[in-house]
Amino acid sequence: MAGATDQRRGQVLRAIIADYISLHEPVGSKALLERHHINVSSATIRNDMAVLESEGYITQRHASSGRVPTEKGYRAFVDSIHDVKPLSTPERRAIVTFLEEGVDLEDVLRRSVHLLAQLTRQAAVVQLPTLNTSRVKHCEVVALGPMRLLLVLITDTGRVDQRNVELAAPAAEEQVHRLRDLLNEALQNKTMAEASTSLAELADQVPPELHEHMLRAATVLRETLVDQPNDRLIMAGASNLTRIARDFPVGLPDVISALEEQVVMLKLMADLPDLGNVSVVIGEENEEKQLHVTSIVTSAYGNEEDGKLGGLGVVGPTYMDYPGTMSKVSAVARYVGRILQGE
């Protein structure tokens, strides 16, 4: 009997959460019976709600009001979601069509974050692939003048980074071409760790007339790209949160501030779930105090060959539509991974 009672109370909790997510209003026992057709008396529902409240899953803001879920209630609800529901065929087709129109990786990721913000009506973030998961595809060297070079490093994930190099002496056109050839011979198809080792040895392996130029180019590459990779984020949809400012009575400015802090958001992407999985962090489970009034749903994108290349996700209120948000984050991450793999 206890098992049946627990199941019914779980059903009542899910119904309260579903109604609160949908209506953003406290939920009463009468409304539950009318909307969800739970086959018990109103007295039983009230008793179940009293038990759920005593156990910390729901709370009553005012003596005469209905109940609202607590963070513990949301966590129990999310933990009961064993399978992320698939999107409809039109939704999947729209995502694929929009992402496949991207001209390169960064454009695909920019599209993905705007798409997520639009689909979920929340703030969205995507992390560009970290350099330590990439291999060098090409290093272009362009003369900006006799004493200045532009280095363009392109990785196999489509990431492009540019750095200027100030030279100690003028470089002739043929020297610039030779520098490019030598850098590519040393760096192509290498991981960033391998590239760092190659760059450290490169200056001593080139002809004397190129030594100083190579030393400066290698130093810039190592210091700014290889040894200290600068992970980048693309944000979209922060304005969506202003629509629901009343639901952040003491926190929206802090939330917006946290979204604008690169370090804070990168920390969110530091502990991504395995490919194909979704992570949900609710309220005070967030390490950042500024985000205690939010829930964050993240997933990793990548492929079987390269593993996780980066992450994406959304930030919204704790009463977000968890099943819908989880399915959309999961779907966009999956399709980004497929596009990266050339499928």
Q: What is the mean pLDDT of residues 273-277?
A: 89
Q: CB under 8 Å to 265, separation ≥6 — which residues?
A: 125, 233, 235, 258, 259
Residues 111 and 136: beta-carbon distance below 8 Å:
no
Confidence (pLDDT) at 248:
67
Looking at 3.90.1640.30, 1.10.3720.10, 3.30.390.60, 3.50.50.60, the CATH number of the domain 132-226 comes to 3.30.390.60
Judged against a pLDDT cut of 80, whether residue 142 lies above it is answered with yes
State both tokens at 237: 């949809």
pLDDT of 179 higher than 80? yes
Mapped onto helix, strand or coil, the DSSP state of residue 246 is helix
Q: Where are the domains of the chain?
A: 2-79, 89-129+231-340, 132-226
Tokens for 39?
């086959």
Residue with tokens 């362009």: 142
Can you give the pTM of this predicted structure? 0.75
Considering the four listed CATH numbers 3.20.20.70, 1.10.10.10, 3.30.200.210, 3.90.950.10, the one that applies to the domain covering 2-79 is 1.10.10.10
CATH class of the region 89-129+231-340: alpha beta
Model pLDDT for residues 60-119, shown as the tens digit of each residue: 887 777 899 999 999 999 999 888 888 888 888 989 899 988 877 788 889 999 999 999
Distance from C-alpha of 35 to C-alpha of 306, rounded to nearest angstrom? 48
Cα angle: 97, vertex 101, 104; to 5 degrees = 135
pLDDT of residue 343: 55
Contact 296, 315 (CB under 8 A): yes
